[in-house]
Amino acid sequence: MKPIALLLLTAAACYGGVNYYLTDSLHAIDPTKWTTVGAIAASATGLAAANPSGGALISKVPVPDGTAEAEVLATLTLLHSGGVYTEYLQATQNSHTGPQGGGAYLAFEMQNPTFDTTGHCVANFLVLQGGATGAVSLLASFQHACRNGMTMRFAVHGTTALVWPDQAQPVEFSVTAGIGSPGIGSYGAPAGNAISLVQLGAIARVLPVAVDQRTVGISAFRNRVDVQWKPPILAATSSGLAGYWIYRDGDYLMRTTSTHFSDEAVAPGATHSYTIYAVDQHFNFSTATSISASTPAIQAVKK
């Protein structure tokens, strides 16, 4: 059982080979592509809340692989503090998180981005699940930096939700899988702020290439084992590498974005097996690469 954990790294976004099947600059709302919920309007700068209650656009375009698993990538124009900006997945056509909201959905939401006097911006980020009965569950919340031109990514693969708050590596959470469509929305946004671009993508299904065992190097010391390897070459259809998950003797040990790790919880004269998985941005795991290492025993001192 692979554990769900958090990995928060600030870095430039990298989107690999994600197949974005719909791209919209939101200068106008195409009714053949979107269902409009509430009060939301397109403009020269993109999608903005027309009033404090706001609204949403839920896609009418089916995900190409016929599933309810997809990714939403949005670019935001943030010129002022304030507002709420939302990405939806597995949403019914009436979904909206605003004050007059409803529907069933998964949502990744940025609330109240706030600029200080030096221009630095911080916002609250939430992962929400709305039910058909109107109940909304808060699955996660955290603070993160924000900026004008930032991106938000949101994907669901099986029972795992993946979010990228303007960073290269995803944060993952366990969710209840549902049915429905991707979408975007906003409410309470000041004039000038907008969702300036949205892209909808299919989930990558090709497993990442496993670490080549022939490239793995091991150095074993009495109280430490060092392991390093060459990164695998990813297929063009990959969503991009998120990192590596490491297991020791069948139990989860750590994850890393580097091509090396050190295990300092070992004893002299012990043998351990290690398993390395390459994991991509859409939470696909490669086949296992297994190695073993033996630490030197303490030699008895002859009297």
Please state which of the ranges 206-210, 250-254, 284-288, 299-303 shows the lowest mean pLDDT.
Answer: 299-303
Structure confidence at residue 177 (pLDDT): 86
Structure confidence at residue 14 (pLDDT): 40
Q: Which amino acid is at 38?
A: G
Q: What is the mean pLDDT of residues 72-97?
A: 96
Q: Which residues of 120-142 are buried (b: 16+ CB within 10 A; e: fewer)?
A: ebebbbbbbbbeeeeeeeebbee
Kindly state the tokens that stand for 149: 């031109």
Structure confidence at residue 124 (pLDDT): 98
Q: What is the SS3 assignment for 213?
A: helix
Name the nearest CA neighbour of 161 among 207, 124, 125.
125
pLDDT above 90: residue 89: yes
Structure confidence at residue 233 (pLDDT): 82
248-276 pLDDT, tens per residue?
A: 999 999 999 999 999 999 999 999 999 99
Provide the CATH number for the domain formed by 213-294 in this structure. Answer: 2.60.40.10
Domain layout of the chain by residue ranges: 19-202, 213-294
Structure confidence at residue 147 (pLDDT): 97
pLDDT above 80: residue 13: no
Percent of the chain scored above 70 by pLDDT?
91
Whether 213-294 and 19-202 are alike in CATH topology: the answer is no
Q: How many degrees, rounded to 5, is the angle at CA 234 between CA 162 and CA 74?
A: 35
pLDDT above 50: residue 99: yes
Q: How confident is the model at residue 234 (pLDDT cuts 50, 70, 90)?
A: confident
Q: Which amino acid is at 179?
A: I
* CB of 201 closer than 8 Å to CB of 73: yes
Point out which residues pair with 273 in neighbouring strands.
292
Structure confidence at residue 238 (pLDDT): 65
| φ, ψ at 233 (rounded to 5°) | -85, 120
Euclidean distance between the first and the last CA atom of the chain, given in angstroms as a whole number: 50
pLDDT above 60: residue 244: yes
CA distances to 26, 71, 147, 195, 226 from 150, in Å: 16, 17, 5, 10, 37
* CB of 272 closer than 8 Å to CB of 265: no
146-178 pLDDT, tens per residue?
A: 999 999 999 999 999 999 999 988 999 999 988
Structure confidence at residue 237 (pLDDT): 62
Provide the CATH number for the domain formed by 19-202 in this structure. Answer: 2.60.120.560
